[in-house]
Amino acid sequence: MTGKCDAKRIFAPGFVQVYTGDGKGKTTAALGLTLRVSGHGGRVAFIQFMKGWDFYGEIAGLAMLPGVRHERTGTPDYVYRGKVQPVDVEEAKRGLVLAEECLASGDYDLVVLDEMNVAVDYGLVDADAVVRAVRGRPSHVEVVLTGRSAPPAFLDMADLVTEMREIRHPFTKGIASRKGADF
């Protein structure tokens, strides 16, 4: 989707939200906000970092929502801390360029940078570059940054911070991730 958004603004002003922590639900919460904004006729850019797999349920789900642009960066391979490959860095740079463009354009009511916190934590993206892009956005643009290990710079600029904390998870009983619930 390109072009200026002529619809009424959803947010005035747009806040910065951070969903972080070791518990489940950070991406799910961002998807819920995306659904709400779409339901109000808003426009959303949902950019996923480090998620190049094709089996995520949100890929098809986001495609069904009007006004939503969904971009994925990353490869189908898992990225391990300390074992980052050059392609992982290139994909993260591509995602950052997309994020900067979407934030600066003013075309979107909501920009979700899914797993951005992890991309910064793994050294794929510079936190200061993200902060500059977020702070330079038009005032009506709401931003969500998700992922474990949110950097202090993100927490400092956020208007809302939610920490997901694991109390119990089926994984600890040896139950694998489930389609529809976990991906």
pLDDT in tens, 7-54: 468 999 999 999 999 999 999 999 999 999 999 999 999 999 998 888
Look at residue 146 and tell me if it is in a domain. yes
DSSP code string of 3-18: S---SPPS-SSPPEEE
pTM of the model: 0.91
Q: Give the length of the chain.
A: 183
C-alpha–C-alpha distance, residues 110 and 106, integer Å? 10
Domain presence at residue 2: no
Is the pLDDT score of 87 beyond 70?
Answer: yes
Kindly state whether residue 72 falls inside one of the protein's structural domains: yes
If pLDDT is split at 50, 70 and 90, which confidence band does 68 have? very high
Contact 110, 147 (CB under 8 A): no
Q: What is the DSSP letter of 167?
A: S
Residue 2: per-residue pLDDT = 40
Confidence label for 178 from pLDDT (cuts 50, 70 and 90): confident
| Enclosing domain of residue 63 | 16-173
> Looking at residue 151, which CATH number applies to its domain?
3.40.50.300
